[in-house]
Structure 1
Amino acid sequence: MHIYSFCPRWGQSHITWDDFASMVKSSGYDGVETDIPADEKERDIILNALSRHGLQLIAQHWETVEPDFSRHLSAYKERLEIMALANPVLINSQTGKDHYTFEQNALLIEAARELAMATGIPVYHETHRGKFSFAAHITKEYLQRIPDLMLTMDLSHWIAVAETLLHDQQDAVAIAASRSGHFHARVGHTQGAQVNDPRAPEWEESLNVHIDCWDKIYKANKEAGKPFLTFTAEFGPAPYMPLLPFTRQPVANQWEINEYMSGMLKSRYKV
């Protein structure tokens, strides 16, 4: 099974798409994870830059924030259809709301399933604060009740929500790992979704907890006979990245950390 690493556009929007794609390719990534604009010309700028540099695309959905469920469902379907026009490898979706009912969130998940069936583009639902999948024990119930539900695993959110490293919820983590087709390689801690620098020795325990989860995802996909697995090194800019007071200077370099995470995991899972 091949492992493909993706670079987030998040934090790099000040760079033109062509320059960004060149940097991504030079850093050894296989593709980019980004949201997809509705405007066709803006979309073509992205797709042409990726094509010129031989990069794959993961479409990222996060924009549907309408609190009224009926309008939310309509907007969600529209966003998925726009992303499908870009023909990505997969769609990573931050789906629903933590305050919607199970039945409401299930309708959103069903809408994603219908689009995936119609287009052949997988839709994986990211474990994320504020969404249906905001906590390990809640997501476990969705996985048990919706047999074909697949995830993008971002363990950092669950750790921040639970304020633990989830040693007491390993059954939920194991089920989620077995149903993850993509993951975000960001390291969280018990008080937040991003450590300042995963290379620092004080974060070794948190890093190892995340790596153990990613190992489970890799093993599950390999045993299932999947031809490839994708991940995005997704350390973000401020406010995820801590800043020094008054000067607002980041305490670490986002680009360097993501390069480190990508290289470390591609080496770890090298076939």
Structure 2
Amino acid sequence: MKLKFFCPRWGCESLSWADFFDKVKSAGYDGVEIGFPYDLDEAEQYEILNGLEVNQLEVIGQHWQTVDSDFEAHKQDFKKQLLSLVSLKPLFINSQTGKDYYSIDQNFMLFSIADKISTNHAVEIIHETHRGKWSFAAHITQSYLELDPRLRITLDVSHWFAVAESLLEDQEAALGLAIQHTDHLHARVGFQEGPQVIDPRSPENETILLRHLNIWDKLISLKREQENSYFTITPEFGAPPYQHLMPFSKLPITNQWDINLWMKDLLKDRYSI
């Protein structure tokens, strides 16, 4: 099984799209995970689509922009954002869907919208585990997956560690079910008090890193058993406020780009055959 690694646009917004794509290609990524909002001007749309083609980069469409608390407005924007991402012709769309305070029925209405777009446009749409969304906690996600076994997810356990204030040692059943439903991985290392450690390379974070690797090992093992031809991973250590800054100076303590590269290389080596 081939692992395909994708670079997030998050944290590289200061670069032009051309420079971003060139940097991604030079770093050995297979593609990018990016948004494509419906209100982008035509020039920027062309720059993105042309840059992907020129650099022969694959693309995962990323949706996070829908934030309206009013459900009716939320539904309309959600649909527009997903339809815009379809025009990227992505491998699939990764969506931060719904709200943690929406009812189960409301979140399932959003899943239904995504399902219809997926069917009509022949593109898979999966739903990211994320704080503030329907999937904000491991046990809540478990209940949704039990209600609808068709749901497919992007697994990011860093959020769940922060929400539960634990490494989820007592929620193995929820983790196991999530792994069964996972089609994409966000490889960021969170901890009991936040979604991102300062530096996963540091010895003080070894236990936390190993816990993530233990979960990811099970996921990769399952994908190999299922004889998937490839599996996608986005190392997604983020920019501020995820990235820790020095007090007063607001200078980054670590380099986001370097840490994501380190994570890519660590997983590539760990899962090479």
Q: TM-score, normalized by length of structure 1?
A: 0.98
1:139 to 141, 148, 152: 141
Q: Distance in 2 between matches of 1:199 and 1:50?
A: 31
Q: Once the 2 structures are TM-superposed, how far is the Cα of residue 269 of structure 1 from its aligned partner? A: 1.9
How far the C-alpha of 1:152 sits from its partner, in A, is 0.2
Q: For the aligned residues, what is the CA RMSD?
A: 1.0
Tell me what 2:50 maps to: 48
What CA distance in whole angstroms lies between the structure 2 residues aligned with 1:34 and 1:138? Answer: 27
Partner of 1:114: 116
CA offsets, 1:91-136, max 9 Å, x none?
1100000000001001111211221122221111100000000000
For 2:234, the equivalent position in structure 1 comes to: 232
Match of 1:157 in 2: 159
Q: Are the counterparts in 2 of residues 61 and 92 from structure 1 also a CA contact under 8 Å?
A: yes
**One-letter amino acid matched to 1:120:** A
Query: d(CA) in 2 for partners of 1:112 and 1:37?
Result: 16
Matched, 1:36 2:36: yes
Q: How far apart, in 2, do the equivalents of 1:88 and 1:241 lie?
A: 28
Q: Deviations over 1:11-47 (max 9, x none)?
A: 1110111111111111110011111132343222112
CA separation in 2, counterparts of 1:220 and 1:105? Answer: 28
Partner in structure 2 of residue 84 of structure 1: 86
Q: Distance in 1 between matches of 2:170 and 2:95?
A: 27
The CA distance in 2 between the partners of 1:199 and 1:113, in whole Å, is 39
CA positional deviation for 1:5: 0.3
Answer with 33-42 or 162-171: which moved more: 33-42
Give 1:181 deviation, angstroms.
0.4
The unaligned stretches of length 5 or more in structure 1 are: none
Report the residue type matching 1:153 in the other structure: L
2:51 aligned partner, one-letter code: A
Q: 2:249 aligns with which of 244, 247, 250?
A: 247
**Contact map agreement 1:186 1:233 (CA 8 A) in 2:** yes
Q: Which moved more, 1:213-222 or 1:74-83?
A: 213-222
Equivalent pair of 1:194/1:241 in contact (CA under 8 Å): yes
Do structure 1's residue 12 and structure 2's residue 12 form an aligned pair? yes
TM-score by length of 2: 0.97
Partner SS state of residue 198, structure 2:
coil
Q: Is 2:94–2:128's contact at 8 Å kept on the other side of the alignment?
A: yes
Question: Which structure 2 residue ranges, 5 or more long, are not aligned?
Answer: none
Instruction: Quote the residue 1:206 is aligned against.
Output: 208
SS at match of 1:124: strand
